[in-house]
Structure 1
Amino acid sequence: MKKYLINSPSSRSYTQRVFRQVHPADIPFPSFLKSPKTCSVFGVPMVYGQPNHGTDYGPQMLRKFGLRGELEELGWTVRDNGDIAIDPPHENDPKPDSLLSGKTKNCYNVGKVCQAVHELTFYAASEGNFALTLGGDHSIGAGTVAGILKARPNTGVIWVDAHADINTPELSTSGNMHGMPVAFLTRLVEPTLFPGWDWLESTPPLHPAQLVYIGLRDVDPAERKILKDLGITCFTMQHVDRYGIAGVMERTFDQLYGRPLHCSYDIDAVDPLHAPSTGTAVRGGLTFREAHYLVEAVSGTGQLGSLDMVEVNPGLGSESENKETVEMALALIDSAMGSRIL
């Protein structure tokens, strides 16, 4: 427990001083957001979509390290709605068909949390606010994207992740729900077959043409087939090497041109050298500058209306590793919200 309670910095570290100058850039403001620009913040301390304790401390740590103050320095009016209450799974929770129950761990619990997240993000987006969701594990992406699509059906989704998160229950080898949100969103999974997920039927499905992956480098064989069969645009780390991150972003915007944008950013997309405290770290990820350029470019389109920052896990590393990961996540949020060096 002690290692979760890392101290917030009393003065900026070298990394913060050099790379986290909170300086609002003159970038276009999305026409679908209201003025003055308002950011609705939701903490979702979700831990039941995967096996590691600690993701529930992510929202707390991001706030402790100064999230609100930095957003306000960037000119945002901040409505911090706190953390949603999450009840633990119970033995008597409804379960899917017996053949699938072991393949969807905590299915009902995860589904009900995602339902609450979908309602909150839908409300924020419908009011014309920027929706910023702090995770928690990436299972909550099913809720955020569903809520955004319900409010802005034409939204393009940029899924930044080392993993595709598009396993179906039948194909999953772990049964962990944080590996399935995109399968639910694209309706590869029939929501009514899974207790706690009926609400998803009232939201628009995510069409493959609306989705772009960036940063993939650990994809299951079954997921590879799904991605190819659906024709989903995927930029792996090999593509980042080949085109450079600027080339990847240009190709991303070519596909999603004219759409409002939602960015779902799993911190494990970043190389563990810069963000070690996450549950499924994979070497060979985005460098510090690649990770920042990505969100700077998305922000610079003037079309970004919502953002998830997930899988920050202060329960996995040393105090210095936890601090580095939280600082990295916060710096990425700053860049997405308009911070620039000059």
Structure 2
Amino acid sequence: MKNPRAVSAVTRRIADQVYSHAKEGRLVLTLGGDHSIAIGTIGGTAKAIRERLGREIAVIWVDAHADINTPETSGSGNIHGMPVAFLTGLATEENEDFFGWLKTDNLISVKKLVYIGLRDVDPGEKRILRENGIKAFSMFDIDRHGIGRVMEMALAHIGSDTPIHLSFDVDALDPMWAPSTGTPVRGGLTLREGDYICECVHETGSLVAVDLVEVNPSLAPANDIGAHETVRAGCSLVRCSLGESLL
């Protein structure tokens, strides 16, 4: 793994911060950063909701990538490709400085995990998804069923009245809507589809935390409008998740 000590330390601090707010019943919004921060955000939310409500959280992970490689299956060693593996216990480390601080109360169940928007998934990740029966909706599913039906199926899988953590990587959107991101992949969600996902999750009344990650204006060329458009898209996603409606 690349820089595990630093990433572990940062995500542990994030987990403590998110936990401190979520245990008080506040909806926690976190702006990233790459998607490795979800080790902290989801770990903190999971612990707080277990203590406050005695319940497990569900996670809706909106992303072009599955981010569920283990250190053994990863070809790059990038931890931002591994957060879901650590959060589900599929990847473990005993060393406190290398994510050993993640305990049972920080983890989530693969049965309460739903992916939306996948289109760039490593072979090892495909195997992990299949072997663990993880619910995943790729862009093929969205093209076939439409985003409305996909959201109905996703929320039905989670179950009603389940606390939801929405973790949204802006690269789930097609690069025409959000070009200033680290790993853009063509053929993604429209901004309207992304907004709809956020609107649907808000309407459940069960949203307890939101991550928006991978908005990186520094990746746009000088005087390029891509950075501005990506920030606008990110702001739209956040507003919709917090309850802004069209009417």
Residues 1-342 of structure 1 aligned to structure 2 (within 5 Å): 104-153=1-50, 154-193=56-95, 195-201=97-103, 203-257=105-159, 258-318=161-221, 319-342=224-247
Q: Deviations over 1:79-116 (max 9, x none)?
A: xxxxxxxxxxxxxxxxxxxxxxxxx1000100011100
Q: Deviations over 1:130-174 (max 9, x none)?
A: 100010110001111111110113111000000000001111111
CA apart distance, 1:256: 1.1
Contact 1:117 1:140 (C-alpha < 8 Å) held by counterparts: yes
Contact 1:125 1:131 (C-alpha < 8 Å) held by counterparts: yes
Give the whole-Å Cα distance in 2 for the aligned partners of 1:157 and 1:205: 11
Give the whole-Å Cα distance in 2 for the aligned partners of 1:196 and 1:224: 25
Give the whole-Å Cα distance in 2 for the aligned partners of 1:171 and 1:248: 29
Give 2:151's aligned amino acid: M
Contact 1:191 1:201 (C-alpha < 8 Å) held by counterparts: no
SS in 2 for 1:198: coil
CA apart distance, 1:196: 3.3
Give the whole-Å Cα distance in 2 for the aligned partners of 1:144 and 1:310: 11
Contact 2:31 2:213 (C-alpha < 8 Å) held by counterparts: yes
Give the whole-Å Cα distance in 1 for the aligned partners of 2:94 and 2:30: 26
Contact 1:107 1:194 (C-alpha < 8 Å) held by counterparts: no
The sequence identity of aligned pairs, in percent, is: 49
Give the whole-Å Cα distance in 2 for the aligned partners of 1:193 and 1:173: 22
Give the whole-Å Cα distance in 1 for the aligned partners of 2:92 and 2:153: 31
CA apart distance, 1:206: 1.3
Q: Deviations over 1:169-206 (max 9, x none)?
A: 11111111100000101111112157331210253421
Contact 2:8 2:99 (C-alpha < 8 Å) held by counterparts: yes
Contact 2:44 2:106 (C-alpha < 8 Å) held by counterparts: no
Give 1:105's aligned amino acid: K
Contact 1:159 1:213 (C-alpha < 8 Å) held by counterparts: yes
Contact 2:57 2:108 (C-alpha < 8 Å) held by counterparts: no
Contact 1:108 1:194 (C-alpha < 8 Å) held by counterparts: no
Give the whole-Å Cα distance in 2 for the aligned partners of 1:188 and 1:202: 12
Give the whole-Å Cα distance in 2 for the aligned partners of 1:279 and 1:179: 12
Give the whole-Å Cα distance in 2 for the aligned partners of 1:124 and 1:184: 22
Q: Greater CA radius of gyration, 1 or 2?
A: 1
Give 1:284's aligned amino acid: G
Q: Considering fraction of residues, name the structure with more helix.
A: 2
SS in 1 for 2:146: helix
Report the count of equivalent residues: 239
Give 2:232's aligned amino acid: E
SS in 1 for 2:98: coil
- Gaps of at least 5 residues in structure 1 are 1-103
Query: Structure 1 residues 194, 183: CA separation in 2 closer, same or farther (over 3 Å shift)?
Result: farther
Give the whole-Å Cα distance in 2 for the aligned partners of 1:331 and 1:287: 12
